[in-house]
Amino acid sequence: MTIMEKQGSFYLGKLFNPQTGKVKDDPLFYSSKDLTTHAVCVGMTGSGKTGLGISLLEEAGLDHIPSIIIDPKGDMGNILLTFPHLSAEEFKPWIDRGEAERKGQSLDTYAEEVAKTWREGLEAWQEKPERIQELRNAVTMEIYTPASRAGIPISILSSFEAPTKEFALDVDAMRERVLSTTSSLLGLLGIDANPIKSREHILLSTIISQTWKEGKDLDLASLIQQVQTPPFEKIGVLDIDTFFPPKDRKNLSINLNNLLAAPGFQAWMDGAPLNIQQLLYTSDQRPKISVISIAHLSDPERMFFVTLFLNQLIAWMRKQTGTSSLRAIFYMDEIFGYFPSTAAPPSKMPMITLLKQARAFGLGIVLCTQNPVDLDYKGLSNCGTWFIGRLQTARDKMRVMEGLIAASNGEIDSKAMDKLMSGMSNRVFILRSIYQKEPLLFQTRWALSYLRGPLTLSQIEILTKNDQKDFNTHLKKSEKSQNVKPTIPSTLNQYYLFNSQNTSTDYLPFVVGFSKLHFIDKKYNVDAWQNSCLVTGVVPGSGLSWDESESHPDLRKQLSQSPVENATYQDVPAELLQEKKYPSFKQDLLTYLYQNITLTIFEFKGLKLLSTLQESEQDFRQRILENLKVQHDDQLKKLRESYDKKIAFLNEKIRRAEEKKSTQQQQSLYQKFEAFLSIFTTILGAFFGKKFSKTTITQTGTSFKRIGRIGKENQDVTIAEENLQTLQQQLEQTHAELNDEITKISVLPSVDTLQIDEVLIRPRKTDIVIEEVALVWWL
């Protein structure tokens, strides 16, 4: 038998019989919708948590559901070790050489043994090897390493950007983000600051809050400057110098500057942005499994990153539309220290927010730990699913039981749970869910991925290929550079690109055009202004052409009116030095915008959906898929509900038939016994010389009548058995019909195959405003 793939159901293993200590034939399917109410997984080292977690994430990937995994121990990177051919050559680079030596085997021999083990393991759990390739086709997998280039590095700069206006309107959310960001930053300095009592915390949080409220982005350099010269005169009723004297502020700014200047801290500034959407989906909207490995970081650095990440996740979550289906998964492999019962580290507040609010947005949270003692089980009571593996101590069991009682509002059989938790073996877990009346005991399935243990940075580096693209590929440098800046007419406006991630100090001259366009379309209810920023240069022999321009919508944030120090400059084409040319540049830009720039929105006629103005095609496709997923889940729910009634009715008839069969069997047995006793009494009477009287004849006749009734009772038993078999066959047929109906419900399309229409809206020429055309020095 091969396990049937079911959309929206995760194959996690098979039910386990604690009496026999063996696995049953019944597979355990876990509904993906149940994960929107979050899950907790606890179990000691070696209990099989990693295998269960990776299996769950594999199932989500097969259903095209993206995941982000925070990996403090280095185990979860194993999910990238998927080998479709299950050959020794695929396993060989990843096996433990020391283990091969301990077994007295060569590397090749041990690799073949491991490959054979994986092939046999998958076969024993009725998993097709083709599932591995299906998983690789369904999702893109990547490993990120903050502050390291072993994997894909992550830049934290975006974490200090001002929140969106919608987010800022949520006062509680804004306050939580400011406080947790401040606490994590001070933690890097070794300052365990109380948000109410600490001067450092109050000053920094006030600066961050005020800067963000003004819609301005923040970085450490500007934060250091504002610590020395705060942009406000008072904190509370005290003037700033009384509350935090200049000398003390200087010491704090020096500590922050030391952090910024530290060679290792620069690594936090490089790499892919900490962008949740980009961690969940590729640029072409392909779902991703993104493993963020933080095993190489120190404890303060881990807390710093996790806190920033959780805040970014909350900001992303609140921009999503509501859904009842599972949209994405956030998985954290070890929450010990991040969610304690008594202390309040910076990570705790955003974690609680996620557990309380993520359900409405289809974001499933899965939290794991091998240290169940010091956890905030009151906070974890928001989790609807608990996976409980083998625990080490009685104290661990007691704390987990407290959490279960809190999660179920006391509606739990403590004695039964304690009995199940005793004598647990590896890979055997209790599934306690708010969607199940009773806890289930199951053994986890064989993972598709090779579970080789924690990955080192060098191993992560092998898995990762960094593809660093130039900020601007076609803006070519000329061969001539000079240390002295060319003379520019004073009447020409000029700007300088300041990009902290670009080490170049060689300026190239280009032209930048800033514009506004007004788009109106009553049919699609569009009335919007759009900013435009185009950069172009002089093409030899053709002059300046906007047809060769590139769009940089956020360029104004990166421009300065002062150059970087010790810069060199390339020659400026004569055309760009002539002030009289710039009016024609403006007119050409106006013509180019009118002829080439359109506002594109997208339409999906199947559900009568239109994209919003800020929504990209990829985001719109994802929203369509989420709506289709909700529709699909509703169809499955209605189908199952309709069959549940039939199945419940047949189960009740089977129960009655079993009772009737049992009754008939008892009556038959009683008749046999009564007939035997009557015949035996008659024979004894005749044997001991009783006269063969009329009474004896009557007794003998009665005995034969009772023998006759035995045949009737046997016939009744047979009829009852046949009736029971008929009902059981009807039940099996009903289950088969249900499975057939499920397969008939169309499988969800992939994001790429969705048929959407583009709607192009053009601006009127009179609705285009050219704000400025200027010279820009490009690094």
Instruction: Name residues whose C-beta falls within 8 Å of residue 555's C-beta, 6 or more positions apart in sequence.
Output: 497, 512, 533, 535
Instruction: Name residues whose C-beta falls within 8 Å of residue 216's C-beta, 6 or more positions apart in sequence.
Output: 162
The token pair at 207 is 């600066």
Lowest mean pLDDT among 84-88, 538-542, 693-697: 693-697
Highest mean pLDDT among 65-69, 124-128, 560-564: 65-69
Could you tell me which of 595, 601, 599, 531 has the C-alpha nearest to residue 765?
595
Element (H, E) at 602: strand 599-604
- Over 50: is that where the pLDDT of 532 sits? yes
Question: What angle in degrees, to the nearest 10, is found between the helix axes of 171-188 and 199-213?
Answer: 130
Q: Which residues on neighbouring strands pair with residue 566, listed in sequence order? A: none
* Whole-number Å distance between alpha carbons of 427 and 342: 31
Highest mean pLDDT among 297-311, 397-411, 548-562: 297-311
8 A C-beta contact, residue 274 and residue 156: yes
Max distance between CA atoms of the chain, in angstroms, equals 147
Could you tell me which of 612, 618, 586, 585 has the C-alpha nearest to residue 599?
612
The token pair at 358 is 């993520």
Q: Where are the beta strands (DSSP E) in 564-720?
A: 568-570, 599-604, 609-610
The token pair at 272 is 């892919």
* Whole-number Å distance between alpha carbons of 91 and 748: 33
Q: Give the pLDDT mean for 675-693.
A: 61
Highest mean pLDDT among 633-637, 684-688, 714-718: 633-637
pLDDT value at residue 190: 84
Q: Which residues on neighbouring strands pair with residue 29, listed in sequence order? A: 11
* Whole-number Å distance between alpha carbons of 419 and 388: 13
pLDDT value at residue 702: 57
Average pLDDT over the chain reads: 85
The proportion of the chain whose per-residue pLDDT surpasses 70, expressed as a percent, equals 88
Rg (CA), the chain: 36
The token pair at 748 is 């969800």
8 A C-beta contact, residue 462 and residue 456: no
8 A C-beta contact, residue 62 and residue 445: no
pLDDT value at residue 479: 41
pLDDT value at residue 466: 38
pLDDT value at residue 106: 92
Lowest mean pLDDT among 89-103, 357-371, 636-650: 636-650
pLDDT tens by residue, 59-104: 999 999 999 999 999 999 999 999 999 999 999 999 988 888 888 8
Give rounded-to-5 percent helix, strand, coil for the chain: 50, 20, 35
pLDDT tens by residue, 430-455: 999 988 888 899 999 999 999 999 99
Split at pLDDT 50, 70, 90, the class of 110 is very high
Query: What is the 8-class DSSP label of residue 359?
Result: G
pLDDT tens by residue, 467-489: 333 333 333 444 445 567 788 88
Could you tell me which of 740, 770, 719 has the C-alpha nearest to residue 588?
770
Could you tell me which of 39, 59, 22 has the C-alpha nearest to residue 446?
59
> Who has greater pLDDT, 263 or 316?
316
Element (H, E) at 107: helix 107-124
Q: Where are the domains of the chain?
A: 494-598+762-778, 618-753
3-state SS assignment for residue 254: helix
* Whole-number Å distance between alpha carbons of 640 and 646: 10
Lowest mean pLDDT among 63-67, 203-207, 749-753: 749-753
Q: How far is CA 399 from CA 42, 143, 154, 180, 640, in A?
A: 11, 34, 36, 27, 37
* Whole-number Å distance between alpha carbons of 630 and 36: 13
pLDDT value at residue 641: 84
- Over 90: is that where the pLDDT of 693 sits? no
- Over 60: is that where the pLDDT of 502 sits? no
* Whole-number Å distance between alpha carbons of 476 and 480: 12
Q: Give the pLDDT mean for 576-603.
A: 90
How, if at all, do strands 288-293 and 67-71 pair?
A: parallel
Q: Which residues on neighbouring strands pair with residue 68, listed in sequence order? A: 290, 330
Q: Where are the beta strands (DSSP E) in 376-525?
A: 385-388, 428-433, 440-444, 481-482, 494-497, 506-521
pLDDT tens by residue, 564-582: 777 888 888 888 888 888 9
Q: Give the pLDDT mean for 334-352.
A: 91
pLDDT value at residue 468: 34
Q: Give the pLDDT mean for 229-246.
A: 92
Amino acid in position 753: T
- Over 60: is that where the pLDDT of 116 sits? yes
pLDDT value at residue 19: 85
- Over 60: is that where the pLDDT of 704 sits? no
pLDDT value at residue 571: 86
3-state SS assignment for residue 201: helix
Cα angle vertex 354, ends 349, 355, to 5°?
100
The proportion of the chain whose per-residue pLDDT surpasses 90, expressed as a percent, equals 40
Q: Give the pLDDT mean for 746-764.
A: 80
The token pair at 401 is 């039981």
pLDDT value at residue 4: 60
